[in-house]
Structure 1
């Protein structure tokens, strides 16, 4: 479990975990914050992979600029390295799960008619 947590990026996964703990605390003490915490987790989960993607594309641009002939992406980077970028989806999935938990908590806490 820690391996998945670490491969998702220590900072975004830690922030998402703090939001998950805050969600459970808000469900108990401040129910009005549940929606905002869930939305924050979703946005953070969606924004987390953008920074590593920017670094990846910057590096690819530098490598492609250094080569005189460029015939394709797979000449620059091996497919195994390229497909290992699936770790970028870990914070997205985690943020969506926290958002789903927030929605379930909101449904449970809604007053019944």
Structure 2
């Protein structure tokens, strides 16, 4: 299972997927620190929110760049098989999907942090 996850990170473009993984880990650490120590001024919460949004946009930037590369390759090729196109589209969609997943995970953590503050 671990190998499959690492393979997906590589297929989605390591220059986009690995930074998003690092940002996910960083956000989780900050969320845990906020739960444990508190965040009275909300500084950690703002940073976490900005990092999650950055991750989302970073994933879509990866998608756009991968699609531009794919279309450049298609325009040069004389006969491209539909399976090659499908693999390229799948790989291009991995980075925005992972970016959205990170965004949602972190936002759920922020919601939980806000609920904790209210009690």
Q: Do these two structures clear the TM 0.5 threshold for a shared fold by scoring above it?
A: yes
User: In the aligned structure 2, how far is the partner of 1:40 from the partner of 1:96?
Assistant: 11
Q: For structure 2, which runs of at least 5 residues remain unmatched after alignment?
A: 35-43
Query: What is the CA–CA distance in structure 2 between the aligned matches of 1:97 and 1:55, rounded to whole Å?
Result: 24
Match status 1:44 vs 2:58? yes
Q: CA RMSD in A?
A: 1.7
The alignment covers a number of residue pairs equal to: 102
Aligned to 1:56: 70
> Aligned partners of 2:70 and 2:94: how far apart in 1?
17
User: For residues 37 and 103 of structure 1, what CA distance do their matches in structure 2 show?
Assistant: 11
Q: Which residue of 2 aligns with 1:71?
A: none
Residue 79 (1) aligns with residue 82 (2):
yes
Question: Shift of residue 60 of structure 1?
Answer: 2.7
Partner of 1:112: 118
Which has more helix, going by share of residues?
A: 2
Give the SS at the match of 1:106.
helix
Helix, strand or coil at the partner of 2:118: coil
Looking at CA atoms only, which structure, 1 or 2, has the larger radius of gyration? 1
